[in-house]
Structure 1
Amino acid sequence: MDLQFRLCTQNDLPILQVLLSELDSELQLSEGQMQAIFERICQIPNYHYYLAQLAGEPVGCFSLLIVPTFLRNGACEALLDSVVVLPPYRGQGIGRTMMQEVARICREAGCYKITLSSNLKRDRAHQFYQNLGFEQHGWSFSLDLCSIPLS
């Protein structure tokens, strides 16, 4: 499989919006909103969106944030998010190849672990990650700041 990876640019925002809508069908960001968010992302060191291309056609993406820690002699930790393969390309090994690329990037950056979060409803995604060696570790907690009053 000739899958190529590259960092997303501003020119990729329309396809990125299509890809991300596969994760969240309610994603309704305007072009201007996408641009503004992308500019903010570009200001964060070691935070990138990657585009996976097959024969020059975009087929998937992922985001990766690599942060230094005080653990493991200063090793980094990676936070993986927004992993998606377009439906017509699923089941062809693209997701597995994308995850191999994630691991390669993380190893080169000196990461000691990759962390990701997956919606409870995505049983197929959970099986996919487990088949790649990911283990469920602890509990994940989130706080919806829009649902609590400011005090």
Structure 2
Amino acid sequence: MYPPDLELYAILCNELFGSKTNLTKLEVVLTKIISNPDYILVGVKDETGKLVGSVMGGITCFDTVGECRSFMVLENLIVRENCRRLGIGKKLVEYIEEQAREKNCYFIMLMSLIKRKEAHQFYENLGYSANTAKSYKKYL
């Protein structure tokens, strides 16, 4: 994803979060993400060039236990509401999983807001389990 897609990506983010994304800050952050090899940010466009899905994640994290293999964080998987159930989200997750395997990651973890029941079913259908860990989050 590149700066020309900035406004298209902001629209997707707005759909996921329900609030307006700060374009100036988003451009700064996207520039950092794109230049960092430990991050993956990909998008999917329809035949008209409209961004219909993306995943920001594929954040490779070091681990210090066991075999000290890295793990990957999947974050901000977004598919436009009118484009869901077309396999876009599944393809984005599969891409992240492929990247994790190539980086020899031990696992992928993600968080999903408790109210997003449809998303939970989607992740479980892809083999992710809500029964292996409990997630905590503190907003600062």
Instruction: Give the TM interval when normalised to the shorter protein.
Output: 0.7 to 0.9
| Structure whose alpha-carbon radius of gyration is higher | 1
Identity of aligned residues (%): 26
- 1:61 equivalent to 2:47? Answer no
Runs (5+) with no aligned partner, structure 2: none
Aligned counterpart, 1:36: 28
Normalized per residue, the structure richer in strand is 1
15-24 or 36-45, which deviates more: 36-45
What secondary structure sits across from 1:73 in the alignment? coil
**Contact between 1:66 and 1:77, CA under 8 Å: does it hold in 2?**
yes
Question: Alpha carbon RMSD of aligned pairs, Å?
Answer: 1.8
Give the TM-score normalised by the residue count of structure 2.
Answer: 0.87
Aligned counterpart, 1:4: none
Runs (5+) with no aligned partner, structure 1: 1-7, 146-151
Give the TM-score normalised by the residue count of structure 1.
Answer: 0.81
What secondary structure sits across from 2:129 in the alignment? coil
1:57 Cα deviation from its structure 2 partner: 4.0
* Alpha-carbon displacement from aligned partner over 1:64-110 (angstroms, at most 9, x marks no partner): 21122223523210001010111221111111121111111111111
What secondary structure sits across from 2:138 in the alignment? coil
Distance 1:96 1:37 in 2: 25
What secondary structure sits across from 1:121 in the alignment? coil
* Alpha-carbon displacement from aligned partner over 1:131-150 (angstroms, at most 9, x marks no partner): 110001322112222xxxxx
**Contact between 2:56 and 2:75, CA under 8 Å: does it hold in 1?**
yes
Q: 2:138 aligns with which of 121, 143, 146?
A: 143
**Contact between 2:34 and 2:41, CA under 8 Å: does it hold in 1?**
no
Distance 1:110 1:54 in 2: 31
- 1:116 equivalent to 2:110? Answer yes
TM alignment of 1:116-135, pairs within 5 A: 116-135=110-129
